[in-house]
Amino acid sequence: MRWRRNWPERKPRPAVKALSKKRKDEILSKLVGGIESSPVLCSLNIGARALRGRFYIEQLWMNDSDELESAIIGRITPLVTPRGRLLLEAEKSKGNWYEVKKGYAKTLIEHIANDTKGTFHGLGTLNRSLCDAGGDQRLPVKMDEELNFTYKNTGEKCSTQEALYHFFDIPINLIAEPSGWYIYHRKPVIAEVSHDRKSVLVRFTSRDRYGSDFGGTCLYSKANGDKWDAYPIKPNQSRNIKTSISWLEKRKWVSW
């Protein structure tokens, strides 16, 4: 006997609206302007470009051969309906896009800049704090014995990303690592800080629908030099900062 499966009908793709060059340039200008006003997006070298009727948000970097490379983190499609609206999508797997939000160019680029889930970068709370402060300056933050971080001026609690930036002076591009764990919506929590404050152990955790935990550990450290770096640590070597550094030293500071 063959079972009949009543699969739900696949939702049709939204109709793409053809734009005039003038309108395309207007939208691209708003996207670029939104990126330039975001301290996080600027630090992560995020750019925007128009290609084949859509707009693509991408991260740029120089490889070891000093060649420019890029990775698309989102795409924006002009819609026929609602009129004037755009569709923001993220890629779940190669060629498999899903809807994130609909709106105008300014709204969508702000959504990307203030992302806290990890769909695009996960540093939204840091981006908002920097925008509120009017730049990329670091704000005074204090730490208590339980590793709680608060702003000295307001008493407001800091997110992990805010603490890493304002208290430890870690660069934004390193705070965004490991980016793969952010993409899977794992939440970072500071687990340990060295006495000299040159090493910070951060746990990344998330829970699935069945209540199971998924996680990872990243060591942000200056122990191997004068500059901060981010080191994903193998699970069975990530008990604390000491075991993490010992493991890295054996591997000549090559992370997991």
Q: What is the pLDDT of residue 22?
A: 95
Assess if residue 103 is contained within a domain: yes
Q: Do 244 and 139 share a domain, yes or no?
A: yes
Assess if residue 255 is contained within a domain: no
Q: Please report where in the chains the tokens 């993409």 appear, as a residue.
A: 183
Q: Do 108 and 158 share a domain, yes or no?
A: no
Count of CB atoms within 10 A of residue 223's CB?
17
183 or 7, which is more confident: 183
For 76-116, write each residue's pLDDT tens digit.
Answer: 999 998 788 999 999 888 878 999 999 999 999 999 999 99
For 115-160, write each residue's pLDDT tens digit.
Answer: 999 999 999 999 999 998 887 789 999 999 999 999 999 999 999 9
To the nearest whole number, what is the mean pLDDT of the chain?
A: 90
- DSSP state letters, 95-128: TEEEEEEEE-HHHHHHHHHT--SSSS-S-HHHHH
Q: Do 145 and 244 share a domain, yes or no?
A: yes
Q: What is the pLDDT of residue 212?
A: 57
Q: Do 157 and 235 share a domain, yes or no?
A: yes
Range of the domain at 41: 21-113
**Distance in angstroms (rounded) separating the CA atoms of residues 108 and 90:** 12
Q: Distance of CA 156 to CAs 39, 139, 153, 160, Å? A: 21, 12, 8, 13
Assess if residue 153 is contained within a domain: yes
Assess if residue 256 is contained within a domain: no
pTM for this model (two decimals): 0.87
Assess if residue 7 is contained within a domain: no
Assess if residue 8 is contained within a domain: no
Single residue among 113, 140, 169 that ends a domain in this structure: 113
Assess if residue 124 is contained within a domain: no
Count of CB atoms within 10 A of residue 251's CB?
12
Assess if residue 1 is contained within a domain: no
Q: Do 137 and 214 share a domain, yes or no?
A: yes
